[in-house]
Amino acid sequence: MRGSGDSKAEAPTANNIFPPAHTPTAPRSNSPDNFFSSLFFPFSSHRLLFSLLSHSILISFLTVFWHRPFSPSVLSSITFKMAASNSLDHLSNRMKLEWHSKLNTEMVPAKNFRRTSIIGTIGPKTNSTEKINALRRAGLNVVRMNFSHGSYEYHQSVIDHAREAEQAQKGRPLAIALDTKGPEIRTGNTVDDKDIPIKEGHELIITTDEKYAAASDDKNMYLDYKNITKVISPGKLIYVDDGILSFEVLEVVDDKNLRAKCLNNGNISSRKGVNLPGTDVDLPALSEKDVNDLKFGVKNKVDMVFASFIRRGSDIRDIRAVFGEEGKEIQIIAKIENQQGVNNFDEILEETDGVMVARGDLGIEIPAPKVFIAQKMMIAKCNIKGKPVICATQMLESMTYNPRPTRAEVSDVANAVLDGADCVMLSGETAKGTYPCEAVRMMHETCLLAEVAIPHFNVFDELRNLAPRPTDTVESIAMAAVSASLELNAGAILVLTTSGKTARLISKYRPVCPIIMVTRNPMASRYSHLYRGVWPFTFPEEKPDFNVKIWQEDVDRRLKWGINHGLKLGIINKGDNIVCVQGWRGGMGHTNTVRIVPAEENLGLAE
């Protein structure tokens, strides 16, 4: 998609986009074989013949240009098409319980349109052009590099292979994410790096004295966090090695030493991670390694950074300062994985481009039964704000070594989708697992079915009611486009955008139909995988000189190109109503127009 050439450049085929187990369906019909026709009881005629807000949504409420006459035959054909379409089903079953009561376990989605993006970690098992493309065919949208492990040479090879894969196999763009190690606390080394047994009830000194940095034992255990004696107090807990070893602080002895009691049997080992649940730590947002890693990402033009252990809004500003002008387009995703991050979530959300609910460390920092509450709260706030949110950690963990997941894991993925996550993520399953493609395919199929259970009109109506007033112009247009797509039973919303902001805001309101995004900005087309329901494509032609070329001619050219791609991929069907969102002139911040056109080569205009 990112090659050069004219607008008739070869479009990706359906097989490049859809996993092999699924293919796009034939055009919609009134056949009872249609998914939603089978899913619901037959509708009575009076439920089909609802008014399109007296068509005011097409004429007065929006800035709409309709390229067909408003004849009774056209309007009746619109109503007729709705009879077998997703939008009508959502409009006719607006309540959540009503929607859920009519689900059917025998049904499968009518066509393979997965809204939720899949992020996969690339490790030794998958670091090749061929294996990355196998993951893409299974459903992968974003490759993740975990900078807690590996050298720069290794991560460079992942970037190179990802970009080669994108060129070798046509399809949607492939995004690249850099996941930082983040500031952390670790134990020191034991003598000869041997494990030292320790029993429940044993008391010892936890120290920051450097003389124990390479000589920890069962009497003095070194930690590399110098300020621990200033921030912790008696009664607080210290977890070592993801909570395998736990200590209770008994006394702050002096500025270097704590007296603590072991709460369970275990081993003191070298260089293990430490968590301080319920304690506000004052670690810097970025370690020296993180700064170097971010500069590596800027140099290689990664599309997004997953920033670990974000505790406050200022941490995001520190990362942007490292990016500078060269990395200003890189999307920052704040990983929330401690109590401080949860407590300061609102200020973090204001600063960040998106959020990751990183449930691994979060489940150590706060009681495990409370993690799902934090997950729902953070996802809901992101949905209301219109910022993307990723759900991560141990989603299909058992598939690292087994070909089938547990029922609980599948339910976990589905629940994240129902909560409103834009993306779900795989870690060890694809980095070191025996069944990486099977894990991606299972996640794909789970997301696809989970999305069926979402009452989209109910979600849209709630988000619309929660929108800030007065509403920003671009967001108003996004809201109106989604409303029009529901009322018209549109085949798609096609958005022309520079930065992807308009696509993000349309995604916020969760339309039933796909969002086809056309942009000249290759990075925007890649990072827009963060937005639920967006199919991003890079328009291959350079921006013309609008002193010579008429702006509207260029707009129509891009609309035709986007519709043509949608038709070739089976995303839309010929003759569908397409809600087009565009600006009145070039550049960012000028989106203010909604047009409704048919999915035809000439957009319904006479030649």
Contacts of 188 by beta carbon, 8 Å cutoff, 6+ apart: 212, 213, 214, 215, 216, 221, 222, 223, 224, 270, 271
Residue of 186, 236, 259, 301 marked active site:
186
Task: Assess whether 297 and 424 both reside in one domain.
Answer: yes
Identify whether 140 is part of a domain. Answer: yes
Q: How far apart are CA 321 and CA 301, in angstroms?
A: 16
Chain Cα centroid distance, residue 174:
13
Verify whether residue 393 is a known catalytic residue: yes
In the block, residue with structure tokens 């989209």: 456
Distance of alpha carbon 76 from alpha carbon 412, whole angstroms? 43
Beta carbons of 300 and 199 less than 8 angstroms apart: no
How many angstroms separate the CA atoms of 91 and 467, rounded?
Answer: 20
29 assigned to some structural domain: no
Does residue 35 lie within any of the structural domains?
A: no
CA dist 26 and 572 (Å) reads 10
Helix (H) or strand (E) holding 246: strand 245-252
Structural domain ending residue among the three candidates 402, 417, 452: 452
Rounded to whole angstroms, how far apart are CA atoms 355 and 385?
11
For residues 418 and 476, state if they share a domain.
Answer: no
Which is the catalytic residue, given 81, 272, 335, 387?
Answer: 335
The answer to whether 261 is a known catalytic residue is no
Q: Count the domains in the chain.
A: 3
What is the per-residue pLDDT for 413? 98
61 and 209 together in one domain = no
Q: What is the pLDDT of residue 547?
A: 77
240 assigned to some structural domain: yes
- Domain of 568? 45-103+455-598
SS3 state of residue 203? strand
What CATH number corresponds to the domain at position 208?
2.40.33.10
The Cα–Cα gap between 397 and 273 comes to 21
| C-alpha separations of 142 from 304, 320, 435, 527 in Å | 10, 22, 18, 9
Rounded CA gap, 250 and 203, in Å? 9
Neighbours of 13 (CB within 10 A): 13
For the stretch 251-272, what's the b/e string if a residue is b when 16 or more beta carbons lie within 10 angstroms of its beta carbon? ebeeeebbebebbeebbbbbeb
Is there a catalytic annotation at residue 317?
no
Q: Which of 208, 229, 393, 593 is catalytic?
A: 393
DSSP-assigned letter for residue 562: H
Residue 508 bears catalytic tag: no
Interatomic CA distance for residues 320 and 322, integer angstroms: 5
Rounded Cα–Cα distance for residues 250 and 261 (Å): 7
Measure Cα distances from 544 to 517, 523, 549 in Å.
19, 20, 7
Q: What is the 3-state secondary structure (H, E, C) of 490-533?
A: CCEEEEECCCCHHHHHHHHCCCCCCEEEEECCHHHHHHHHHCCC
Strand order in 591-598's β-sheet? Answer: 64-66, 591-598, 577-583, 492-496, 515-519, 534-538
Is there a domain that residue 526 lies in?
Answer: yes
pLDDT of residue 106: 77
Query: Could you tell me which of 588, 584, 580 has the C-alpha nearest to residue 562?
Result: 580
Q: Contact 208/337 with Cβ under 8 angstroms?
A: no
Considering the domain boundaries, does residue 151 fall inside one? yes
Give the pLDDT confidence score for residue 605 in this predicted structure: 58
Q: For residue 37, what are the CA distances in angstroms to 34, 50, 211?
A: 5, 18, 73
Per-residue confidence (pLDDT) for residue 21, from 0 to 100: 37
Q: Going by C-beta distance under 8 Å and a sequence separation of 6 or more, which residues neighbour residue 571?
A: 24, 113, 491, 492, 514, 516, 535, 565
Tokens 């999305």 locate to 451
Cis upstream peptide for 197 (omega within 30°): no
The phi and psi torsions of 262 (rounded to 5 degrees) equal -75, 135
Same domain? 290 vs 253: no
User: Strand (E) positions, 393-433?
Assistant: 423-426
Tokens of 179: 């996941």
Assigned domain for 23 exists: no
Residue type, 39: L
Residue 156 shares a structural domain with residue 303:
yes
In this structure, what token pair is assigned to residue 282?
A: 């004052």
* Cα distance between residue 430 and residue 432, in whole Å: 6
484 and 421 share one domain = no
574 and 461 in one domain?
Answer: yes
Question: What are the DSSP calls for 249-309, one per residue?
Answer: EEEE-SSSEEEEEE-S-EEE-TT-EEE-TT------S--HHHHHHHHHHHHTT-SEEEETT
* Residue 534: CATH number of its domain: 3.40.1380.20
- Run of H or E including 331: strand 331-336
Q: Are strands 591-598 and 64-66 parallel, antiparallel or unpaired?
A: parallel
Shared domain for 298 and 173, answered yes or no, is yes
Query: Domain end: 275, 293, 313, which one?
Result: 275
Contacts 24+ apart (CB under 8 A), 246-255: 247/206, 249/206, 250/203, 253/205, 254/229, 255/229, 255/230
In terms of domains, do 307 and 356 share one? yes
User: Which of 253, 275, 297 represents a domain boundary (last residue)?
Assistant: 275
| Residue 134 CB neighbours (<10 A) | 17
Q: What is the mean pLDDT of each run of 10 residues along the chain (607 residues)?
A: 39 39 38 33 31 34 38 33 49 76 77 89 96 97 95 98 94 95 93 94 97 95 96 96 93 96 95 91 92 98 97 97 97 96 97 97 90 97 98 96 97 97 97 97 95 91 94 93 94 95 97 96 97 96 82 90 90 93 67 86 62
Q: 137 with 208, same domain?
A: no
Q: So what's the pLDDT on residue 98?
A: 84
Q: Do 157 and 295 reside in the same domain of the chain? A: yes
Q: How far apart are CA 345 and CA 353, in angstroms?
A: 13
In a domain, 37, yes or no: no
CATH code of the domain in which 168 resides: 3.20.20.60
Annotated catalytic residue within 144, 441, 510, 526: 144
- Report how far residue 296's alpha carbon sits from residue 298's, in angstroms, rounded to the nearest whole number: 6
Are 529 and 518 contained in the same domain?
A: yes
Token pair for 545: 């000189």
158 neighbors 123 (Cβ within 8 angstroms): no
Tokens of 570: 């089976």
